[in-house]
């Protein structure tokens, strides 16, 4: 049974491990703690049988704007709508806070992620050259709420 719930600090190691397996960037563990402390409402996990299989980290950057920083789902649990459920849960939170738009960056060579966000109403706003640690570029995407 899949559960979407707020992150609990005891989930930290599971989320860091999942991020290292699903995302191309390598993040300092302290960064996850920083994001949690900055905006705990935006740190949401998906759990099956007490195992973290997905997560989303989002923050509120201004009164009107939020940003998705990370979204990851374990490879064995993809194509099960877990990413959509995580995204929708975050959207509910920020819509309730009267946020007007949400932004994110996605690798220009990550067609699956770009298609996922496009399917959910995000539009490409621009491009940032050499955004990632490996020198790859990113699209900036935005969704008006």
Q: What pLDDT, on a 0 to 100 scale, did the predictor assign at position 98?
A: 94
d(CA 120, CA 139): 16
- pLDDT tens for 46-96 read 999 999 999 999 999 999 999 999 999 999 989 899 999 999 999 999 999
Domain annotation for the chain: domains and CATH numbers: 2-102 (3.40.630.30)
- pLDDT tens for 97-112 read 999 999 999 999 999 9
Give the ranges where the chain is alpha helix by DSSP (H). 12-22, 29-38, 82-96, 111-119
Q: What pLDDT, on a 0 to 100 scale, did the predictor assign at position 64?
A: 95
Residue 140, classed as helix, strand or coil, is strand
Work out whether strand 101-107 and strand 65-73 pair parallel, antiparallel, or are unpaired. Answer: parallel
pLDDT(14) > 90: yes
Tell me the mean pLDDT in the region 121-133. 91
- pLDDT tens for 20-44 read 999 888 888 899 999 999 999 999 9
pLDDT(4) > 90: yes
Residue 120 confidence class, pLDDT cut points 50, 70, 90:
very high
Residue 116 confidence class, pLDDT cut points 50, 70, 90:
very high
Q: At what angle do helices 12-22 and 29-38 cross, to 10 degrees?
A: 120
Q: What pLDDT, on a 0 to 100 scale, did the predictor assign at position 26?
A: 83
Asked if 108 and 136 count as a contact pair (C-beta separation under 8 A), the reply is yes
Q: What pLDDT, on a 0 to 100 scale, did the predictor assign at position 138?
A: 94
């Amino acid at each position: 049974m899949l559960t979407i719930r707020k992150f609990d600090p005891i989930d930290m190691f599971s989320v860091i491990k999942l991020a290292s397996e699903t995302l191309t960037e390598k993040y300092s563990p302290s960064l996850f703690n920083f994001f949690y402390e900055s905006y705990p409402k935006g740190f949401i996990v998906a759990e099956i049988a007490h195992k973290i299989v997905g997560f989303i980290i989002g923050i509120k950057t201004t009164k009107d704007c939020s940003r998705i920083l990370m979204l990851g789902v374990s490879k064995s649990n993809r194509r099960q709508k877990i990413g959509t459920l995580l995204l929708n849960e975050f959207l509910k939170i920020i819509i309730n806070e009267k946020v007007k738009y949400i932004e994110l960056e996605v690798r220009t060579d990550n067609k699956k992620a770009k298609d996922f966000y496009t399917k959910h109403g995000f539009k490409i706003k621009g491009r940032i050259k050499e955004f990632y640690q490996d020198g790859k570029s990113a699209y900036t995407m935005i969704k008006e709420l």
